[in-house]
A = this chain, B = another copy of it.
Amino acid sequence: MPETASRPTLEAVAARAGVSRATVSRVVNGGNGVRKPLAERVRRAVEELGYVPNQAARSLVTKRNDAVAVIIAEPETRIFADPYFGLQLRGISKELTAHDTQLVLLLTEGRDDYARVGRYLAGGHVDGALVFSLHLDDPLPGMIQRAGVPTVFGGRPGWSDGTHKVVYVDSDNRGGAREAVRHLVGLGRTRIGHITGALDQTSAVDRLDGYRDVMGDADPRLVVESDFTPAGGERAMRTLLDRCPDLDAVFAANDLTASGALRVLRERGLRVPEDVAVVGFDDMLPVAEQTEPPLTTVRQNIEEMGRLMARLLLRGLDRDASGETVDDLPHSVVLPTTLVRRASA
């Protein structure tokens, strides 16, 4: 398309307002140190010409991009079956928008993509990065660290080289798991099983730890490793039932897993919650509210996590700019979870 008659430049506005480019620039960037009437004249010229600053030219001199990358590395399609992804993005987007910062989305799946992302980051296209690091052996955090791009992680990364300080925002997976299991205990349950998530993700490990915090050294057969999927949940539930027929409750690592477990329970003719109480994790609405019976589960404030990630990153960037001391580095944040009671436990 004939890029509709190239847009007006600073120069044009300056001419129209009868001032210098510098003055226009000042006005456009906040207008400090420009006398009222002059500024007004400039603003009118801007208005009339429909002037919009050229970001490329600006970046070239300021060395800022006013853009941050959001990197979502998820080889599996799991994350895309997950509405949380969208909520998280929404939270991030809101915060970035409020700071006139653009969101560049980088989705990866596979090694080649990693190289590409590495190059992009190293290319200085963005001022910072927000990364969802989902697997323990993920090379991404290392690459990012090396690229020297300020970063905030979503979920505690299962990675640390001890020297660099990583900043992350996470839900209190362990605490939430404890609350879930305690709830079950409060219901009088004693044979409480746990279906874990994929243990190469810290969230799964933390939830397992929370379970153990409450159950101590309970019968180890009560814990079955799974993978956060409904099918995995079904399999694990069968195993659990075969191993421990006297089971009276299950804490599943997430709602998807729980839904699979519920199906097996129903299939075996066990009543929920009468025979076996079930608690999930996530409060993934389309799932948790639709199961039969609806799921008691641990809710995390996903959107808030996203917002916080963005806020921490932006604060870090501002700090850079204003040259504060390193001690002001933003700290990681762990958000509380809440138990949502429905019919399953």
A contacts, CB < 8 Å to B: 1-4, 6-7, 50, 52-57, 59-60, 63, 65, 67, 70, 77, 79-83, 85-87, 89-90, 93-94, 97, 102-107, 109, 113, 116, 119-120, 122-125, 148, 150, 230, 256, 259, 263, 266, 284-287, 289-292, 316, 320
Please determine whether B150 and A230 come into contact, CB atoms closer than 8 angstroms: no
Given contacts A56-B65, A79-B86, 5 further A-B contacts (CB under 8 A): A1-B148, A1-B150, A67-B104, A103-B107, A287-B287
Please determine whether A230 and B4 come into contact, CB atoms closer than 8 angstroms: no
What's the minimum C-beta distance from A266 to chain B, rounded to whole angstroms? Answer: 8
Number of copies: 2
Q: Give the distance in Å from the alpha carbon of A67 to the alpha carbon of B125 in the complex.
A: 11
Q: Considering only CB atoms, which chain B residue lies closest to A255 in the complex?
A: B286
Please determine whether A124 and B52 come into contact, CB atoms closer than 8 angstroms: yes
Please determine whether B82 and A86 come into contact, CB atoms closer than 8 angstroms: yes
Q: Give the distance in Å from the alpha carbon of A45 to the alpha carbon of B79 in the complex.
A: 40
Contact of A103 among B83, B105, B109 (CB under 8 A): B105
With A80-B90, A87-B80, A256-B286 given, is the CB distance from A104 to B104 under 8 Å? yes
With A122-B52, A290-B290 given, is the CB distance from A93 to B81 under 8 Å? no
Q: Considering only CB atoms, which chain B residue lies closest to A67 in the complex?
A: B104
Q: Give the distance in Å from the alpha carbon of A284 to the alpha carbon of B286 in the complex.
A: 10
Please determine whether A3 and B63 come into contact, CB atoms closer than 8 angstroms: yes
Contact of A83 among B57, B80, B266, B290 (CB under 8 A): B80
Q: Give the distance in Å from the alpha carbon of A199 to the alpha carbon of B67 in the complex.
A: 37
Please determine whether A97 and B113 come into contact, CB atoms closer than 8 angstroms: yes
Sample (28) of A-B pairs whose CB atoms are under 8 Å apart: A3-B148, A6-B63, A7-B122, A50-B122, A52-B122, A52-B123, A55-B123, A56-B56, A56-B57, A67-B104, A79-B86, A80-B87, A80-B90, A81-B285, A85-B86, A97-B113, A97-B116, A102-B120, A103-B105, A103-B107, A105-B105, A230-B286, A256-B286, A259-B290, A284-B286, A286-B286, A286-B287, A287-B290
